[in-house]
Amino acid sequence: MPVNLPEIESMELYPVAGVKLGWAQGHIKKANRKDVLVIELCEGASVAGVFTLNRFCAAPVTLCRQHLAGNKGIRALVVNTGCANAGTGEQGMLDAKKTCNAVAELLAIPQDAVLPFSTGVILENLPMDRLLAALPNAVNNLAEDNWKDAAYSIMTTDVAPKAVSEQLNIAGKQVVVTGISKGAGMIHPNMATMLGYLATDAGIEQSLLTEITKEIADLSFNCISVDGDTSTNDSFIIIASGQSEVQFNSREQAGFAELYQSLLASAQKLAQAIVRDGEGATKFMSVNVHGAKTMAEAKAVGFAIGKSPLVKTAFFASDPNLGRILAAIGYAARECDSLNDLDTNLIDLYLGDVLVADKGGLAKSYKEADGQNIMNRAEIDMTVKLNRGDVDVTIWTCDFSYEYVRINADYRS
Amino acid sequence: MPVNLPEIESMELYPVAGVKLGWAQGHIKKANRKDVLVIELCEGASVAGVFTLNRFCAAPVTLCRQHLAGNKGIRALVVNTGCANAGTGEQGMLDAKKTCNAVAELLAIPQDAVLPFSTGVILENLPMDRLLAALPNAVNNLAEDNWKDAAYSIMTTDVAPKAVSEQLNIAGKQVVVTGISKGAGMIHPNMATMLGYLATDAGIEQSLLTEITKEIADLSFNCISVDGDTSTNDSFIIIASGQSEVQFNSREQAGFAELYQSLLASAQKLAQAIVRDGEGATKFMSVNVHGAKTMAEAKAVGFAIGKSPLVKTAFFASDPNLGRILAAIGYAARECDSLNDLDTNLIDLYLGDVLVADKGGLAKSYKEADGQNIMNRAEIDMTVKLNRGDVDVTIWTCDFSYEYVRINADYRS
């Protein structure tokens, strides 16, 4: 079961003016589940995206990049689960284009105003007949209050749907931020087999939105790891519909900091939701890395810990076998050359507020019972102080259980 | 059970003249098992070693490096399992020195002629009383025909002991190469929680031995991965006792190529043995990467595949979910910048001799039944042709099973 993931049924997901969502059952991989989503945007909405860095990126990702680069305005998004349309060569690109064409025709908008997204099994072609048959149904139920169904319709191995929503009052005017995400495995930064969509009815000028989308992704979706694998299809999109009275052209405007903070916190919640629902997860861990020289160093240390199978199995067992954390810190230099001069004699390690190691060795004050006490929790913080600079970061990860193996051994069957 | 690992009881392990081995029960972590090993070398033996790159390297590794750098001749090695003496700060260094001193006294040799090795749990101090009490027992049974017991005495989570031995005829003279290794988890190149000792009675001049030890490690122990974790204690040692009539001062001498090939093949067998006995392994996989521009590229691609939990769980399930291999290739650029211009449209993927993908997409000729047929085997080859250069490498890895999680969740208990 997901670790402390808020129940979507008990959440209020505020509609975002100018953003309509419609779903359908496309029977893409399994029958009778919501697996197709269309999102229609009002004219004038700004849209920015961040995509996987995987060289084997999927056809829809390539097409998304092209359509966003065209800068002619995005009017719709179309998502299918069950098939990633990745590793599919020319046929994959033809299928992604055909999907955009179909949505464009149904909504009477240009083909390059549509962003396509696919997630699911790699190396299989999209079942175009079933997908195309589903699109009119999705378009028929487009509505602004469909966020919950939308959250369900983008799930793959997710146990539970993931959403976030809040109302802000910015300079006396109301603004809404609502988003959904999906992902549970093949999750690692830059990015994962995850999709994230965040929308606000505030207006944000296009180049500013592009800029902050990258920043927000780096501090949210690019700070999580479930299994260290990165996928071919990861995408994170922010939509600013501009339908509220609040409009931003620059970071300096009053109220922008509040909206930025809300978007960042929402993106972090959506990203953490993926970890809480990490395949087989029984624990949610926050790895705080303090005192690095650079963000690259901080992330290298955080992810060395956060993706170590040995660390993750120890947490699954609630076993304070904390030497594995030190070993992981020690090999982080593999991922970041500047760590080659890391002085391990400066490093302190805390589990919760318990000092485990200081100056690179077991702390005299450490008692295993104190470590055990923290390890028994479902939500665990650890802090590594590198004491070599002033850059901090937090990485979120989960443990590694039998269930992870079962899910991924069974995934296609 | 280990995958096609030769049974040590059915092997003949030839003694190496000038190399005596003695074991003891030190009760370091568990009672009544062989967990202490002393290896005594004749005067004049050459010894070279390659050690972990982990910044949190253990005290004994630091001391090994110092003693080898002293270049005054190594006369003994001492190994304990059950405790890694890593993350132990100043106390750890004192304990490692005390261990060397004790062995030096027993054998009447200088303290810096002893190389110490520890493997086991990190962040715990060595139980010095028990270790020191065991050393005289180990020294008392020193003998040249103790290789089998030595293989048992260095095991930790290993299911089975690992050894290799062969007799060569070089220019009419007999030479022996015999070795042992241990390791099953926290196994990744550069290096792993592994120990490897290879000895020959041929003579190899010190600087030449140092040179080839690095080369041989790079093509054997640095080509394996069980879980992607690297440890604090990894060490690979080659001993050339010089007791046979065959002596080498340069690579150009007749017969050197034969000895080199034997040492390399033996090191590869010892390294592969660790993967065959990988924690929870049910399959042994060889990942052949062809046509890279550089060795760094080839290894980055091989290890991206070889350490992906998603690839490894798919192999555990015998599920030809081969898109995961493409995804792993796609993110190998994370580890090797020169792969940023990787053209995925040039890539071919074979499973055994079955063409799965050509030009980056699903091959028209591919039938899942053919892929399934290969996946059902316990020993599987796959070949990735990058078609961008002429460097090839093979990486050895194993699958990822429930048993891996069980072993590592239980390790300390």
User: Which bin fits A183, alpha (ψ -120 to 50), beta or left (φ > 0)?
Assistant: left
- The answer to whether B331 faces chain A, any CB pair under 8 Å, is yes
- Give per-residue pLDDT as tens, B285-321: 999 999 999 999 999 999 999 988 889 988 998 988 8
A16 pLDDT more than 60: yes
User: Which of A123, A333, A413 is nearest residue B357 as measured by Cβ atoms?
Assistant: A123
- Token digits of residue A42: 């009002």
Q: What DSSP string runs through A4-19?
A: SPPPGGGS-----TTE
B110 pLDDT more than 70: yes
Distance CA A318, CA B123 (A): 17
Residue in B376, B295, B289 with CA at minimum distance from that of residue B325: B289
- β-strands A162-170, A203-204 pairing: unpaired
Lowest mean pLDDT among A193-197, B290-294, B355-359: A193-197
A159 pLDDT more than 90: no
> Using only C-alpha atoms, what is the Rg of chain B?
22
Output the pLDDT for position B152.
Answer: 97
Residue A379: strand pairing partners: A284
A1 pLDDT more than 80: no
SS3 A364: coil
SS3 A252: coil
How far is A344 from chain B, CA to nearest CA, in Å? 6
Over residues B236-254, mean pLDDT: 95
Helix or strand holding residue A28 (H, E)? none
Name the A residues in 14-73 with CB < 8 Å from any B CB: 53-57
Name the B residues in 148-207 with CB < 8 Å from any A CB: 185-186, 188, 190
- Which domains are assigned to chain A? 8-276 (3.60.70.12), 284-410 (3.10.20.340)
Distance CA A56, CA A161 (A): 27
User: Which of A55, A361, A408 is nearest residue B88 as measured by Cβ atoms?
Assistant: A361
- The answer to whether B411 faces chain A, any CB pair under 8 Å, is yes
Output the pLDDT for position B411.
Answer: 55
CB atoms within 10 A of CB A144: 17
A288 pLDDT more than 80: yes
Residue in A150, A77, A93 with CA at minimum distance from that of residue A126: A93
pTM over 0.90: no
Mention every residue, 6+ apart, whose C-beta is less than 8 A from residue A17: A42, A144, A176, A201, A241, A243, A244
- Give per-residue pLDDT as tens, A344-394: 999 999 999 999 999 888 899 999 999 999 999 999 999 999 999 999 999
- Give per-residue pLDDT as tens, A209-262: 999 999 999 899 888 876 655 667 789 999 999 999 999 999 999 999 999 999
Residue in B233, B277, B260 with CA at minimum distance from that of residue B8: B277
SS3 A120: strand
Given an 8 Å threshold on Cβ–Cβ distance, is B123 in contact with A339? no
ipTM rounded to 2 decimals: 0.71
What rounded mean pLDDT belongs to chain B? 91
pLDDT-based confidence at A320, cuts 50/70/90? confident
Over residues B29-54, mean pLDDT: 93
Output the pLDDT for position B192.
Answer: 41
pLDDT-based confidence at A413, cuts 50/70/90? very low
A17 pLDDT more than 80: yes
Which candidate in B54, B191, B319 is best for mutational testing of the A interface (most A CBs within 10 A)?
B54
A412 pLDDT more than 70: no
| Closest chain B CA to residue A304 | B229
Q: Which residues of B touch A328 (CB under 8 A)?
A: 229
Given an 8 Å threshold on Cβ–Cβ distance, is A89 in contact with B362? yes
- The answer to whether B363 faces chain A, any CB pair under 8 Å, is no
Given an 8 Å threshold on Cβ–Cβ distance, is B123 in contact with A326? yes
Lowest mean pLDDT among A168-172, A190-194, A239-243, B367-371: A190-194
Given an 8 Å threshold on Cβ–Cβ distance, is A322 in contact with B186? no
Output the pLDDT for position B211.
Answer: 95
Output the pLDDT for position A229.
Answer: 58
- Token digits of residue B386: 């990058």
Task: Answer whether B348's CB lies under 8 Å from B357's CB.
Answer: yes
What rounded mean pLDDT belongs to chain A? 91
- β-strands A19-24, B235-240 pairing: unpaired
Output the pLDDT for position B336.
Answer: 86
Percent of chain A surpassing pLDDT 70: 95
Cα A127 to Cα A73, A96, A131, A390, B179, distances in angstroms? 28, 11, 6, 51, 55
Q: Which residues of A touch B84 (CB under 8 A)?
A: 323
- β-strands B36-41, B19-24 pairing: antiparallel
- Give per-residue pLDDT as tens, B187-239: 544 434 789 999 999 999 999 999 999 999 989 988 887 665 566 778 999 99
Distance CA B332, CA A388 (A): 29
How far is B363 from chain A, CA to nearest CA, in Å? 9
Mention every residue, 6+ apart, whose C-beta is less than 8 A from residue B134: B24, B25, B26, B27, B35, B36
Q: Which residues of A touch B356 (CB under 8 A)?
A: 123
Q: What secondary structure, in 3-state letters, does chain B show?
A: CCCCCCCHHHCCCCCCCCEEEEEECCCCCCCCCCCEEEEEECCCCEEEEEECCCCCCCHHHHHHHHHHHHCCCCCEEEEEEEECCCCCHHHHHHHHHHHHHHHHHHHCCCHHHEEEEEEEECCCCCCHHHHHHHHHHHHHCCECCCHHHHHHHCCCCCCCCEEEEEEEEECCEEEEEEEEEECCCCCCCCCCCCEEEEEECCEECHHHHHHHHHHHHHCCHHHEECCCCCCCCCEEEEEECCCCCCEECCCCCCCHHHHHHHHHHHHHHHHHHHHHCCCCCCCEEEEEEEEECCHHHHHHHHHHHHCCHHHHHHHHCCCCCCHHHHHHHHHHHHHCHHHHHCCHHHCEEEECCEEEEECCEECCCCCHHHHHHHHCCCEEEEEEECCCCCEEEEEEEECCCHHHHHHHHHCCC
Output the pLDDT for position B142.
Answer: 98
